[in-house]
Amino acid sequence: MTGSTTYWCEHAQLPTKVHRGVRLTVVDGRFTEIATDTTPRRDDVRLRGIALPGFANAHSHAFHRMLRGRTHADGGNFWTWREQMYAVASRLDPDTYFALARGVFAEMVASGFTVVGEFHYLHHGPDGRPYDDPNAMGAALIAAAREAGIRLTLLDTCYLSGGLYAEGHQPLDEVQIRFSDGSVAAWAERVDALQDTDIARIGAAAHSVRALTRDQLIEFARVVGDRPVHAHVSEQIAENIATEMVYGRTPVAHLDEVGLLRDGFTAVHATHLTDADVDLMGRAGAGACFCPTTERDLADGIGRARDLADAGATLSLGSDQHAVIDPFEEVRGLEMHERLTTNERGRFGLGELLDVATLSGYRALGWEGGRLAVGSLADFVTIRTDSRRTSGAAPGQILFAATGLDVLDVVVHGRRVVAEGVHSLGHVDDLVAEAIAVVRSAS
């Protein structure tokens, strides 16, 4: 985007407090001026409700959206859920992946997310052979994000082993083989061919301590450079037990020993941590991405969010498997889970919660956004204050009342992607339904 646009907002949540009559001036995708207590001008784009910084979805697996409402028969657990996830993965190619991701990303935008970190390990063909373009699947995600109007960090994932048990790392199974490049060096060579754009960044991920050996993690830590780095960490108790048996330490301590636990590293889930783990993460300046709706859907447990924040770790949020796509549900889940485990309210202040949902997520994904402030990326949303959910709520407490259905407008890089609840691509319900139909009909 080039040129200047001014948006006039009835209310806006600025870094200090909610203000009335806020004019946001955008030039080349960034805020260049913010004025308060103004009246609308003829050339302003007028926006109803309250403007908030755009929400960050710091952990996503777009293709898991296929499993919503299909994994609850007979209870099930994480491992039976994973078998269904593998079945979905086997049906995806660059075309179906693009169609599905486009619909899922549009659903995110309509719900208020303006940036997503896509934890991407579905790299090659079903037999493990690369496509003619080795990055065809990543390119499909980047193209889908651009069409859906969401900012993307592609967390290209290194995945080399099939699991970790007491006897050590396991070989890849017939589904996992398409996730792997065979070595860290081959992974790095493929990823180096990907390029940052105005709305897409290339990050990195180690799938987990289960998916790379110690030596591979050390090599991975050497080659990732200054990219944002994410990894699944201590999501399952079984992972902790296996890592202790093989390496004699917890997953967090193991990641610290190989050189990955640092500023710029995000541990996804970080559910089952010891006191020493919490201290290590805080002292390292690492981040933790909580996915409350997924962690409760899979019965994974409740992580130590307040303890981690107090230790100095930075928190962010993700929707992970997309049992729910709603930033308000995720941010409320963070606070409500704390309330359930402590019998105390207000474990996080309103300002803290908003920062976790916006600013911290942007930083975890390598972007300078998540604030309504001069110099920040011009990504923001407006929330209606007159729905049956939000009527009567104090503007500064809208996080505790609204849902994604209350999102009126979404602006990304200064461009209005959603206007009065309507996405630029059309009806999001139809887009999602069509995308799911495409995958289900694939052979």
pLDDT in tens, 251-270: 999 999 999 999 999 999 99
Residue 75 predicted with pLDDT over 80: no
- CATH (domain of 205): 3.20.20.140
Bigger pLDDT: 87 or 385?
A: 385
Please check whether residues 163 and 220 belong to one and the same domain. yes
- Split at pLDDT 50, 70, 90, the class of 3 is confident
Contact (CB, 8 A) for 108 and 147: no
Please check whether residues 257 and 387 belong to one and the same domain. no
Please check whether residues 235 and 347 belong to one and the same domain. yes
Please check whether residues 15 and 163 belong to one and the same domain. no
Please check whether residues 264 and 411 belong to one and the same domain. no
Contact (CB, 8 A) for 260 and 266: no
Question: How far from the centroid of its chain's Cα atoms is residue 9's Cα?
Answer: 27
pLDDT at 197: 95
What is the spatial distance between Cα 197 and Cα 39, in angstroms, rounded to a whole number? 36
Please count the CA atoms within 13 angstroms of the CA of 303 that sit on its side-chain side: 29
Residue 84 predicted with pLDDT over 70: yes
pLDDT at 90: 86
- CATH (domain of 415): 2.30.40.10
Contact (CB, 8 A) for 55 and 374: no
Q: In this predicted model, what pLDDT tens digit does every residue of 154-177 receive, in sequence order?
A: 999 999 999 999 999 999 999 999
Query: Is 440 inside any structural domain?
Result: no
Comparing C-alpha atoms, which of 230, 34, 57, 75 is closest to residue 151? 57
pLDDT at 81: 78
Comparing C-alpha atoms, which of 296, 282, 287 is closest to residue 316? 287
pLDDT at 87: 86
- Split at pLDDT 50, 70, 90, the class of 412 is very high
Q: Where are the beta strands (DSSP E) in 207-302?
A: 229-233, 265-269, 287-290
Residue 79 predicted with pLDDT over 80: no
Between CA 271 and CA 122, with CA 328 as vertex, the angle to 5 degrees is 55
- 237-251 burial: b if 16+ Cβ within 10 Å, else e: eebbebbeebbebbb
Query: Is 350 inside any structural domain?
Result: yes
Query: Is 393 inside any structural domain?
Result: yes
Query: Is 385 inside any structural domain?
Result: yes
Provide the mean pLDDT of the chain: 96
Q: Residue type for 46, please?
A: R
> What's the chain's length in residues?
443
Supply the residues annotated as catalytic.
269, 320
Please check whether residues 41 and 65 belong to one and the same domain. no
Query: Is 439 inside any structural domain?
Result: no
Residues 290-312, mean pLDDT to the nearest whole number: 97
Angle in degrees, 0-180, between the axes of helices 214-223 and 184-192, rounded to the nearest 10: 30
Q: What is the DSSP letter of 314?
A: E
Please check whether residues 173 and 265 belong to one and the same domain. yes
Please check whether residues 34 and 174 belong to one and the same domain. no
Measured from the Cβ of residue 84, the count of other Cβ atoms closer than 10 Å reads 15
> Which residues form the domain of 319?
55-364
Give φ, ψ of 141 to 5 degrees.
Answer: -65, -45
Between CA 158 and CA 116, with CA 126 as vertex, the angle to 5 degrees is 45
Please check whether residues 59 and 35 belong to one and the same domain. no
Residue 1 predicted with pLDDT over 60: no
Contact (CB, 8 A) for 84 and 71: yes
pLDDT at 85: 87
- Choosing from 318, 338, 364, the residue where a domain stops is 364
Please check whether residues 111 and 231 belong to one and the same domain. yes
Interstrand relation of 4-13 and 45-53 (parallel, antiparallel or unpaired): parallel
pLDDT at 397: 97
Query: Is 194 inside any structural domain?
Result: yes
- Choosing from 336, 364, 392, the residue where a domain stops is 364
Please check whether residues 388 and 348 belong to one and the same domain. no
Query: Is 434 inside any structural domain?
Result: no
Residues 368-387, mean pLDDT to the nearest whole number: 98
3-state helix, strand, coil in the chain (%, to 5): 35, 25, 40
- Choosing from 313, 347, 364, the residue where a domain stops is 364
**Chain position carrying tokens 């474990």:** 347
Please check whether residues 194 and 326 belong to one and the same domain. yes
pLDDT at 443: 63
Query: Is 145 inside any structural domain?
Result: yes
Question: How far from the centroid of its chain's Cα atoms is residue 70's Cα?
Answer: 22
Q: How many domains does the chain have?
A: 2
pLDDT at 135: 98
Q: What is the DSSP letter of 317?
A: E
